Amino acid sequence: MVDFSLSENDERILDAMREQSRVVRRYARYYDDNENELPPDALPEVVNFRSPYKDVEFEEGIDTPRHVLHVLVSAIQAWGDYGVLMKRIGEGLGNGVLTAAGTDEQRARWQRCTLAIAMTEPGCGSDPKSIQTTAVRDGDEWVLNGEKIFVTAGCRAEGVVVAATVDKNLGYKGIKPFVVMKGMPGFEVSHREKKMGIRADDTATLLLNNVRVPGDHLLGACDDSAAGFRAIMTALNRNRPVVGVAGVGIASAALDFTREKLKEEGIEIVWGVGKQGRSAVQQELIEIEADIEAATLGLLHAAWVSGGNEWKARPTSIAKAKAGEVARTATQRCLALLGGLGLSREYLVEKWFRDARITDLYGGTGEIQRLIIARDILGYSSAELP
């Protein structure tokens, strides 16, 4: 039976997370204004924060399964501040590829490092099969050449998992993940992106100019199977719900603020009367709330049916598509309700509007999620429905 009702333990965990998030939020404006500064590994007031799950004993059949509750916990973290939150996550997406494709020895060597992931190139984003970065075998080494753009944590990560093709004729089967560590000759961060949102999080362009990496920096085998490509896609797919949840958290922050401001003006939702008994503003608030609730339920459902294992593709894409869209539209609708106040830098709502945009872009755009859903429903391959 699907049940998303919250137990006392669940509520305790969420309350603890809200408290932490209120502290993180104090830093939101600072790192938005100072995009050139990366937040430190630990914010001073956050150093002693403990996992909200700590000391709360899980009761089977009463408490919400942890992997499901984690959707709500993460949304509250993003409600605090998504950009600052991102910085506090030690692992990068590249660590996911390492886990999926690395040997025990490789995992032991790099698991403690933050590894970013570099797929996107100037001519290749939504369609990762068209990667142009090359890896050519030379004795015991691989020689990598190419340019990677929009690499999250590209500046602060200690290393990057670079997707490169060992043979363009093999298509996606030729794409393999390589670990490239900072400081390797020929590997440089050539540009740090200035972004409209999530400015606390660094996004970089990386250049690979005859970068020589030892043979054992290839994750997985150099065969003509799709295993390497799949390992990269698995790590990206796992990140989809994380991005969707962030969208819901940001939208909730904007809605809470809007509600609060409208309340100060004497405008509150009147329940128990029909649509005809409410003002347009009250009705708009209800619709935004319902949309955020629908997106949240989609994510909870995706988590529930995935059972704590590999996220199931269709429900996850449905949840990500809905959450990304709601993040964009809910923050926009909140700005509209707030009038000029919504644009003032005195408040964070204009920042949430900017931060929200990314959630419908990375991890696969809304259009790409809808394509994945359509393929799954119709039973088409990506070649049949490109």
Ligand X SMILES: Cc1cc2nc3c(=O)[nH]c(=O)nc-3n(C[C@H](O)[C@H](O)[C@H](O)COP(=O)(O)OP(=O)(O)OC[C@H]3O[C@@H](n4cnc5c(N)ncnc54)[C@H](O)[C@@H]3O)c2cc1C
For ligand X, the binding residue among 64, 77, 165, 203 (CB under 6 A) is 203
Stretch that binds ligand X, among 178-186, 214-222, 325-333, 366-374 (CB under 6 A): 366-374
In the block, residue with structure tokens 């996992």: 51
Residue 362 · residue 244 · CB < 8 Å: no
Question: Strand pairing partners for 115?
Answer: 159
Residue 373 beta carbon to ligand X: minimum distance, rounded to whole angstroms: 12
SS3 for the chain is: CCCCCCCHHHHHHHHHHHHHHHHHHCCHHHHHHCCCCCCCCCCHHHCCCCCCCCCCCCCCCCCCCHHHHHHHHHHHHHHHHHHHHHHHCCCCHHHHHHHHHCCHHHHHHHCCCCEEEECCECCECCCHHHCCCEEEEECCEEEEEEEEEEEECCCCCCEEEEEEECCHHHHHHHEEEEEEECCCCCEEEEEECCCCCCCCCCEEEEEEEEEEEEHHHECCCCCCCCHHHHHHHHHHHHHHHHHHHHHHHHHHHHHHHHHHHHHHCCCCCCCCCCHHHCCHHHHHHHHHHHHHHHHHHHHHHHHHHHCCCCCCHHHHHHHHHHHHHHHHHHHHHHHHHHHHHHHCCCCCHHHHHHHHHHHHCCCCCHHHHHHHHHHHHHCCCCCCCC
Residue 163 beta carbon to ligand X: minimum distance, rounded to whole angstroms: 7
Stretch that binds ligand X, among 17-25, 32-40, 145-153, 222-230 (CB under 6 A): 145-153
List the interface residues with ligand X, window 104-143 (CB under 6 A): 116-120, 125-126
List the interface residues with ligand X, window 159-188 (CB under 6 A): none
Both tokens of 109, joined, read: 């060597």
Closer residue to ligand X, CB minimum distance, 26 or 182: 182
String marking each residue 336-365 x if it binds ligand X according to CB under 6 A:
----------------------x--xx--x
Q: Does 327 bind ligand X (CB under 6 A)?
A: no
Q: How many residues bind ligand X (CB under 6 A)?
A: 21
Residue 120 beta carbon to ligand X: minimum distance, rounded to whole angstroms: 4
Closer residue to ligand X, CB minimum distance, 349 or 358: 358
Q: Does 368 bind ligand X (CB under 6 A)?
A: yes
Residue 206 beta carbon to ligand X: minimum distance, rounded to whole angstroms: 10
Residue 210 beta carbon to ligand X: minimum distance, rounded to whole angstroms: 21
Residue 308 beta carbon to ligand X: minimum distance, rounded to whole angstroms: 25
Residue 231 beta carbon to ligand X: minimum distance, rounded to whole angstroms: 14
For ligand X, the binding residue among 74, 77, 152, 331 (CB under 6 A) is 152
Residue 198 beta carbon to ligand X: minimum distance, rounded to whole angstroms: 6
List the interface residues with ligand X, window 244-303 (CB under 6 A): none
Closer residue to ligand X, CB minimum distance, 121 or 284: 121
Q: Does 369 bind ligand X (CB under 6 A)?
A: no
Among all residues, whose Cβ is closest to ligand X?
125
Q: Does 371 bind ligand X (CB under 6 A)?
A: yes
Q: Does 367 bind ligand X (CB under 6 A)?
A: yes
Give the other-Cβ count within 10 Å of 227's Cβ. Answer: 16
Catalog residues that contact ligand X under the rule CB under 6 A: 93, 116-120, 125-126, 150-152, 195, 203, 358, 361-362, 365, 367-368, 371, 386
